[in-house]
Amino acid sequence: MLAACSASNLDDYRGAGASGGANAADSAAEAALAGAGGLPSSGGSTQAGGAAGAGGGASGGAPADSGVDADAGCAGGTANCDGVASNGCETTLGTSANCAHCGNACSAPIGTTACVNGACKVTACPDHRADCDGLAGNGCETDLKTTATCGGCQNACPPSFACDQTPSGVYVCACSSDASCLNGGVCSGFAVCVCGGNACGLGQRCTLIGTCF
């Protein structure tokens, strides 16, 4: 014969069944969350820790909290040239290496350059050279020994004149013959035209009335 079940035993059985069902439901729910990434699968990590790890990967390995906002503007005259947030605006601008901005180096094939008021400028040229176009990148690009630029950027010699060097070393436009002085002028030994008995200035020629122009 089967033993009679007491009300107490039945309640205990029902309680155990209910508890087992709840535990099974909880286990299924936890498994579903773990599969969806809502709970850590192992290692005892917290859900917040998992989210922080995912954020670090998305940012390319940047420090989670460097203490410096890399996107913030730098103070005037500085820049974040190396792109590293942790050292901030590490570069001083206004130098020959970084003049107006990062990597804006001042240099020229001929002459000396420097960063002046945030722009690269030619500051010195060799003898008989000049920066006529004002561009620092090509430096002292002009030869001051030619008839187009004889001794100066805008000093073009008249036709039949030469760009000659004076005893003191200066290049000037000089007559090359009597004919170059025009109108019966004479090219003197000082490479200047003599018009009507009067010596003209460097680069001048003779008018029909014997004056210089």
**Confidence at residue 61, expressed as pLDDT on a 0 to 100 scale:** 36
Nearest CA among 66, 90, 87, 96 for reference residue 78: 90
Tokens of 105: 């180096």
- Residue for token pair 């240099």: 107
The rounded distance, in Å, linking the Cα atoms of 191 and 163 is 10
Low-confidence stretches of the chain (pLDDT < 50) are 1-69, 71-72
**Confidence at residue 160, expressed as pLDDT on a 0 to 100 scale:** 95
Nearest CA among 144, 143, 158 for reference residue 205: 158
The rounded distance, in Å, linking the Cα atoms of 175 and 126 is 27
Write the pLDDT tens digit of every residue in 46-81. 333 333 333 333 333 333 333 333 734 898 899 999
- Residue for token pair 């030869």: 143
Q: Distance between alpha carbon 105 and the CA centroid of its chain, in Å?
A: 7
Write the pLDDT tens digit of every residue in 137-151. 999 999 999 999 999
Q: Domain segments of the chain: what residues? A: 77-143, 145-213
**Confidence at residue 206, expressed as pLDDT on a 0 to 100 scale:** 98
**Confidence at residue 17, expressed as pLDDT on a 0 to 100 scale:** 39
Helix (H) or strand (E) holding 141: none
**Confidence at residue 205, expressed as pLDDT on a 0 to 100 scale:** 97
**Confidence at residue 29, expressed as pLDDT on a 0 to 100 scale:** 37
